[in-house]
Structure 1
Amino acid sequence: MQKVLLSLSVLFLSIIIGLQLNYQAKKSIPPKGKVTFEKEEDEDLEANENFFLIRSYPDAYVDPRAYDAGMKDAIARNNVTRNEQLWTLEGPGNIGGRINCMAIEPGNENVIYVGNASGGIFKTTDGGATWFPIFDSQPYLAIGAITIDPNDHQTIWVGTGDLNISGYPFIGDGIYRSTDGGVTWAHMGLIEESIVSKIIVDPSNSNTIYASTMGIPFFESMNRGLYKSTDGGVSWQQVLFVDEDAGIIDMVMDPFNPQILYACSWNRIRTNQISVVYGPDAHIYKTTDGGSTWNMLTNGLPSYTTGRIGLAISKQNSAKIYALIVDTMHVVQGIYKTLDAGTSWSNVTGNFSNETYGGQGWYFGKIYVNPENDDEIYVPGVELQRAMNGGTYWNTVTPPWWTYEVHADGHYLDFVNGSTFFYCTDGGMYKTTNDCSTWSDAENIPNTQFYHVAYNPFAPDDVYGGAQDNGTTGGNYTFIDYWSRIYGGDGFKPIFDPINSDLFYVETQNGGLSYTNNGGFDYYDFTNGIDESDRRSWDMPYIMSPQDHT
């Protein structure tokens, strides 16, 4: 239990430090010759500049190397006094948090590994009934990729860093390997590459590993692209480099010929000053010699500036590949299919809805194909979309997001078979066993990303908080899997009136403020008087006066 509790403490600390790293020098400028786009709400991030400046002064930004040294020093010190303190895991187990990736042990669906956006790795050996953390002793808990060696299921490869690179990026320190199912870990390099988006082990030779990386998102560098190891991860060679601000976001391997791989590049830089989410270097590349040479695929694909790209390859016919491409407006530009291993592509977008991404194409960008039916393809987004005919006709296969039966914002799929698979979202992981007819919550991992916690004097045994994409919630350990949702949106700081038990206040993103005076049955806005044109932080500070709580 104490290990799980320490997991939550480290998770919370990693969130705070992750925010700290997001600050970049005021002197930073967009990469030369690259297209940049600043979301309207990104202007609110400028309000955080003073927060970061205070912590980096006199330097203009937090040095990632200094940060890395500090993180590793903190782990090495392993404060004994803190470890001996008694902690109780209060929860929640039912609310969920953002899961970036997962891996199911081949031939044994009871063993599953889950990689969290900022909460390390959890493992189950009983099909999800119980979970335990296995990565908490490492300095970086943002996970972007998990791969199980197809020849040795006790060997697990993990890529750190949040591959979705949101407004508050969580960086990593490269790649790790476990040879005992996650009991112990060895760091295997790619520190400077920071964010690892995918790992593939050659099924014909476990010493050959490919790792796609996005690099540090705060500045341009040569340390990004696709890397290959032929000695089990002891050394790495960069086999595909596209540009100093373009990493490799996805790749697939031919299931019948491990010398053939496809990889896609993406221009992505994120600081508090600029947000590069598309550019001229977003392309699909192919190698037929294990990465020694690459060709850019073009016939039928867009020849103009685009954004993030996702790939999926058929398990039955390796010449059939799907590609999803995001456009400069952050919706799906097109879904493409090739039947000749990339020589030519056809557009199978059909009736795919642009509302699927909610204008956040850089945050999604994945596509999947059913391993038993290569005409059945899936695209995660605000809700999960599916086409049964190889494209052209799409429909939603998860319940409406606002019911919370399946949380909004999906990031990853992993199949047990053609009708049973798992779906990872911003609010945990879900499972269907009947081809999407019904869904069930598949985990009770305490990985909710809390921005703030609060004390309610009228319910002193309960704990309350505001969480990323999971609103305001509260409860305690006695009903850890049944915490209640108090308010929606992204939740921030709740405040409870010290006199009136029915009166309390909640906050949502960008300074949205509401209150209830009847114990939560009704909520009312109280932002009147705040200039709507003024900047408000994503997590806007507000307080209650201790002298006058009105």
Structure 2
Amino acid sequence: MAPGEYKARQDTSGGLGLPERALVRASEAAAKGPRLPVDWRSEGPANIGGRVTGIAVDPNRRDTVYIGAASGGVWKSTDRAATLTSVWPRRNPQAIGAMAAGSDGAIYAGTGEANPGGGSITYEGDGVYKSTDGGRSWKRLGLRNSATISLIAVDPENPRRIFVAATGSLFRPGGERGVYRSEDGGRTWTLVLAGANDTTGANSVVIDPGNPRRVWASMWDRRREPDLRRYGGVGSGLFRSDDGGSTWRRLENIVTPTPGDDIGLRSDPRLGRIGIGVAPGDPDRVYVLTSTYSQFGDVKGFYVSDDGGASFRTGTLPASDVPFWWTGHLWVDPADRDHLYMPSANLRESADAGRTWKVNEGMHVDHHAMVWDAKVPGRVYEGNDGGVYRSDANGATQTWIKAANEPYTQFYSVTASAQDVTRMAGGTQDNGSVRTWNGPRWNEFLGGDGEANVIHPQNHDILYSCYQFGACFRSEDAGDTLTELRGAAADRFNWFSPIELHPADPSVVYFGGDRLNRSANGLDFTPISPDLTGGPGRDEVYPFGTLTTVAAARTAPGTVVVGSDDGRISLTRNDGANWSLELKDQPWVTRVEIDPQNARRMFATLSGYRASGTGGNVLHSDDGGDTWRDISGNLPGAPANDIVIGPHGLLLLATDVGVYAGPPSGRFWFRLGDLPLAAITDIEFQASSNRLIAATFGRGIYSTRLPRGLAGKVHAAGRQTP
């Protein structure tokens, strides 16, 4: 599963959908709201990396390259991608889908990641941006309702002529989707290839470098709902234009399909994402890779043309480790038409025009971008879920050099030692669970997609760590050795399965699937509840109807509250002997919290982008969960992901548009500082140092010491609010 699967299901749950430009509108509202000055410090990691979705090599400046991070903005390197510096405005959408460079030195960034993975991009964007001064400033050019952009192509002979593959939103029909062309450097745009329906957008656009009037494009028909996805449809297909994009012809001329492929390129509800590779050295050589829309997105057909698409022969279908809707492209060596790469979990390489394939080794997995440097023969840059890599040996296996400084890691969680302010751990997208001790500043100690991590509050050598779908472990030596949790009963586990240590007795641990499990020793679990959700969803692969959060009361033994992805909050007051459903029909419940001083005071945060009149994202109960009221107050209508009770009852809130502080009653909230516009997925308050730690999904970990008098200012504002 990709990060978008998990986050998108949250954001669209409860029937809210995803309104057009929802994140941008929420960010604009946040910028206008009250803010208190707080100095955030980046805690890294710089050495782990994160998903890279676009690369642009500066045509005029040697060793200069621009990197687009999936949810971390644009980064620039002047030393061959060894180290990178952010050149992206903090309040711009941080989701980058594509990068490109013109021969005049202009750099283009398409916002909104089009790789949907298990469910969707993490975040949508608001169009195409351009920099003409080496990334010092950026101007939005338009296509603000395109939502996601898969590729940008600039005419090599006329840099004012630009094509954009606008993929569109996965969650709603319509918007700006298809192939757009600009003849004036991006000032104006014309839709030159529209989809067959309102769920079809463009996946690829490739200009023939020898004849820029010939343009290739692939279209992709797709739609996502919280518990079901459709990653193909009749709108998917391969197209070619011979007049610079003014008119297009659909190509369906597959005479002999790949064995097992009964679709070829014809319009079919099962046709999924299509990758195109055009050989720069011989543009009549064209490669096409097709896939199905099935839950697993299998690659189905591989075809080769030597006459510019007039005919195709069948090539050897490369093996694939992940669904093709997660990678979706092909790349051809500009110096050798027979040498090409196919992205998957592993990078597949062929030196004989796709007759045989091998795994190209020496990099992280899940590949998304690849660009050759025209100024340096044999130099190629590659982007994947682990960051950006460079090879000076034309991409030969085991010749890849990873960037040394790329602080755009996507974190799901963070935990900190109560005794040592330097000791932190967290779960990251596709880079495992990482920690700040027993190795480099940050080092991986558990693989997979890192999820929940919890450090024991009394003994920081005891650590719980998980990867996706409930694979959770306990360590008693700070993560050096791990033992998998035993005995937990569940039919379904969430992507991020919750673990909670009892605040009064941390040897007691709760662990959620669709049922809640309890352990008295932190290792052996037994179920203490029935299924506390509304049951499984419609998706055959990814679970729905799971617990997402759990909290135990410090001052009321046996009181435990849980939340679920289908919008339910349930409560027991006798450690699972009896359960009551306290709330239902809400969006995804991201967090529940119980006041450590008063077990009748409870809080819940909800995902989803809210419109006026649809309720809020922060709920409060002062009667032990019997009734709940909205305390969102002046918060922007963006997903809330975590809530923590800080000093003097101060409420600390993590949202998709920043960290907020509110009084005990909620109602009036201040944004703390000005973090980049990456989702704050988790926060932790470290009482011993008065430090607040924030995990971001795309910009790593940040921390701040709460200023003296902060609680007083917030409380005073709360008392003045009706």
**TM-score band w.r.t. shorter chain:** 0.7 to 0.9
Return closer, same or farther for 1:168/1:251 CA change in 2, 3 Å cut-off: closer
State whether structure 2 residue 244 is matched by structure 1 residue 290: yes
Return closer, same or farther for 1:254/1:527 CA change in 2, 3 Å cut-off: same
Structure 1 partner of 2:112: 161
The 3-state SS of whatever aligns with 1:72 is: helix
Amino acid paired to 2:116: I
Distance in 1 (alpha carbons) for counterparts of 2:91 and 2:34: 11
Is the CA contact 1:314–1:371 (under 8 Å) kept in the aligned structure 2? Answer: yes
Amino acid paired to 2:348: Q
Q: Cα distance, 1:73 vs. partner?
A: 3.5
Q: 2:301 aligned to 311, 334, 341, which one?
A: 334
Structure 2 partner of 1:411: 368
Structure 2 partner of 1:398: 361
Q: 1:130 aligned to 65, 76, 83, which one?
A: 83
Q: Cα distance, 1:117 vs. partner?
A: 0.5
Q: Which moved more, 1:272-281 or 1:336-345?
A: 272-281
Q: 1:250 aligned to 204, 220, 229, which one?
A: 204
Structure 2 partner of 1:388: 351
Q: 2:406 aligned to 445, 460, 463, which one?
A: 445
State whether structure 2 residue 11 is matched by structure 1 residue 23: yes
Structure 2 partner of 1:114: 67
TM-score by length of 2: 0.64
Q: 2:339 aligned to 355, 358, 376, which one?
A: 376
Return closer, same or farther for 1:529/1:200 CA change in 2, 3 Å cut-off: closer
Amino acid paired to 1:70: A
Structure 1 partner of 2:433: 472
Is the CA contact 2:81–2:390 (under 8 Å) kept in the aligned structure 1? Answer: no
The 3-state SS of whatever aligns with 1:510 is: coil
Structure 2 partner of 1:271: 225
Q: Cα distance, 1:222 vs. partner?
A: 5.3
State whether structure 2 residue 144 is matched by structure 1 residue 144: no
State whether structure 2 residue 287 is matched by structure 1 residue 322: yes
Structure 2 partner of 1:45: none
Distance in 2 (alpha carbons) for counterparts of 1:204 and 1:369: 20
Structure 1 partner of 2:416: 455
Q: 1:306 aligned to 259, 265, 271, which one?
A: 271
Distance in 2 (alpha carbons) for counterparts of 1:374 and 1:348: 14
Q: Cα distance, 1:178 vs. partner?
A: 1.3
Return closer, same or farther for 1:471/1:520 CA change in 2, 3 Å cut-off: same
Distance in 2 (alpha carbons) for counterparts of 1:499 and 1:75: 39
Structure 2 partner of 1:191: 144
Identical pairs, percent: 31
Q: 2:500 aligned to 514, 530, 543, which one?
A: 543
Amino acid paired to 1:366: H
State whether structure 2 residue 468 is matched by structure 1 residue 487: no
Distance in 2 (alpha carbons) for counterparts of 1:66 and 1:421: 36
Distance in 1 (alpha carbons) for counterparts of 2:411 and 2:198: 34
Q: Cα distance, 1:133 vs. partner?
A: 0.7
Q: Cα distance, 1:177 vs. partner?
A: 1.1
Is the CA contact 1:23–1:271 (under 8 Å) kept in the aligned structure 2? Answer: no
Is the CA contact 2:9–2:227 (under 8 Å) kept in the aligned structure 1? Answer: no
Q: Which moved more, 1:492-501 or 1:378-387?
A: 492-501
Structure 2 partner of 1:5: none
Is the CA contact 2:145–2:175 (under 8 Å) kept in the aligned structure 1? Answer: no
Is the CA contact 1:510–1:538 (under 8 Å) kept in the aligned structure 2? Answer: yes
Q: Cα distance, 1:522 vs. partner?
A: 2.5
Distance in 2 (alpha carbons) for counterparts of 1:542 and 1:194: 34
Is the CA contact 2:82–2:402 (under 8 Å) kept in the aligned structure 1? Answer: no
Distance in 1 (alpha carbons) for counterparts of 2:468 and 2:445: 15
Return closer, same or farther for 1:129/1:71 CA change in 2, 3 Å cut-off: same
Distance in 1 (alpha carbons) for counterparts of 2:458 and 2:419: 9
The 3-state SS of whatever aligns with 2:339 is: strand
Q: Cα distance, 1:21 vs. partner?
A: 8.1
Aligned residues: 485
Q: Cα distance, 1:371 vs. partner?
A: 0.7
Distance in 2 (alpha carbons) for counterparts of 1:443 and 1:312: 30
Distance in 2 (alpha carbons) for counterparts of 1:527 and 1:392: 47
Amino acid paired to 2:446: Y
Q: Cα distance, 1:422 vs. partner?
A: 1.7
Structure 2 partner of 1:10: none
Distance in 2 (alpha carbons) for counterparts of 1:383 and 1:66: 34
Is the CA contact 2:445–2:480 (under 8 Å) kept in the aligned structure 1? Answer: no
Amino acid paired to 1:342: G
Is the CA contact 1:408–1:427 (under 8 Å) kept in the aligned structure 2? Answer: yes
Is the CA contact 1:385–1:395 (under 8 Å) kept in the aligned structure 2? Answer: yes
Q: Cα distance, 1:134 vs. partner?
A: 1.0
Distance in 2 (alpha carbons) for counterparts of 1:230 and 1:78: 42
Bigger proportion of residues as strand: 2
Is the CA contact 2:18–2:171 (under 8 Å) kept in the aligned structure 1? Answer: no
Distance in 2 (alpha carbons) for counterparts of 1:236 and 1:345: 33
Q: Cα distance, 1:76 vs. partner?
A: 5.9
The 3-state SS of whatever aligns with 2:115 is: coil
Distance in 2 (alpha carbons) for counterparts of 1:375 and 1:20: 39
Q: Cα distance, 1:215 vs. partner?
A: 0.9
Amino acid paired to 1:462: R
Bigger proportion of residues as helix: 1
Distance in 2 (alpha carbons) for counterparts of 1:469 and 1:66: 26
* CA deviation string 1:154-179 (max 9, x = no partner): x2111000110232422111111112
Q: Cα distance, 1:439 vs. partner?
A: 2.1
Q: Cα distance, 1:219 vs. partner?
A: 1.5
Q: Which moved more, 1:338-347 or 1:99-108?
A: 99-108
Distance in 2 (alpha carbons) for counterparts of 1:483 and 1:529: 30
The two structures, once aligned, show a CA RMSD in angstroms of: 2.4
Distance in 2 (alpha carbons) for counterparts of 1:118 and 1:76: 23
Is the CA contact 2:371–2:382 (under 8 Å) kept in the aligned structure 1? Answer: yes
Return closer, same or farther for 1:78/1:471 CA change in 2, 3 Å cut-off: farther
Distance in 2 (alpha carbons) for counterparts of 1:513 and 1:472: 11
Return closer, same or farther for 1:362/1:111 CA change in 2, 3 Å cut-off: same
Amino acid paired to 2:341: Y
